[in-house]
Amino acid sequence: MDSITVALPKGRMADKSFEIFASCGISENIQNEMSRKLFICDIERNLKFILVKPTDVPTYVEHGAADIGVCGKDVLLELKRDCYEVLDLGFGKCKMVVAGPTNKKNTFLSNKRVATKFPSIAEEFYKKKGENVEIIKLNGSVELAPLVGLSEVIVDIVETGTTLRENGLTVYEEIFPSSARLIVNKASMKTKSDRIKEIIYKLKQATENS
């Protein structure tokens, strides 16, 4: 049996990722074990699981350090790593949006500054619109930027909308919907094809039944 390494994302998508692998019987115990470790082995099934930052999942998969991984469509579109996207897992639903101060929603601004953790997505979005903007890359707490005068708007993901609301911000435009995706290393798809197809099949069924 081929050995398979799975990269799972830490943070908000972790629990749902553990659940979906458990629910279809791929590995029942990861949730318990992963609460303590970043790396676990299911020796019986020849499976390894690693827990990494969501933005690092495609890197592990592209380089073959993991055969498959779970990560958001937002991250995939931003990083454009060379791997196959094979399945929409249906959880981790959120939207990529342009947001800004609620009281300035209808103010026209030329040459605005856009703070974001997703510079490539933001750049492409404004390029398509033919708008000139200055992109300011941040690594987190993006909602702060318009509040302290670092930018006029942000491009970020919104899930519940709580962070925007609590900071007096509102959605100006929706860019695209996002959710968790299953990604596969291109070489592994060929060399470990049977095992990977079986995993995709089980996860697809779990997705359809949830």
**Both tokens assigned to 198:** 């079986």
Encoded tokens for 80:
């454009």
In whole angstroms, how close is the CB of 59 to ligand PRP at the nearest point?
Answer: 17
Under DSSP, is residue 111 helix (H, G, I), strand (E, B) or coil? coil
Residues 11-50 close enough to bind ligand PRP by CB under 6 A: none
Contacts of 33 (CB under 8 A, 6+ apart): 40
Which residue number, 52 or 206, has a Cβ lying nearer to ligand PRP?
A: 52
Looking at the Cβ atoms of 133 and 145, the one nearer to ligand PRP is 145
Please state the closest distance from residue 80 (CB atom) to ligand PRP, in A. Answer: 19
Site size toward ligand PRP, by CB under 6 A: 12
- H-only helix segments in 70-192: 73-79, 119-129, 144-147, 162-166, 186-191
Rounded to a whole number, what is the largest CA-CA distance in the chain? Answer: 61
Shortest distance, position 120 Cβ to ligand PRP, whole Å: 16
CB of 98 to ligand PRP, least distance (A): 13
Q: Which of residues 136-165 bind ligand PRP (CB under 6 A)?
A: 140-143, 156-163
Closest approach of ligand PRP to the CB of residue 95, in Å: 9
69 burial (CB, 10 Å; 0-12 / 13-18 / 19+) is buried
Structure token pair of residue 128: 């398509």
Inter-residue contact 91 to 181 (CB < 8 Å): no
Residue closer to ligand PRP by CB (options 44, 166) is 166
Site string for ligand PRP, 82-121 (x = CB under 6 A): ----------------------------------------
Q: Could you give the angle at which helices 14-23 and 193-209 cross, rounded to 10 degrees?
A: 100
Residues at the site binding ligand PRP, with contacts judged by CB under 6 A: 140-143, 156-163
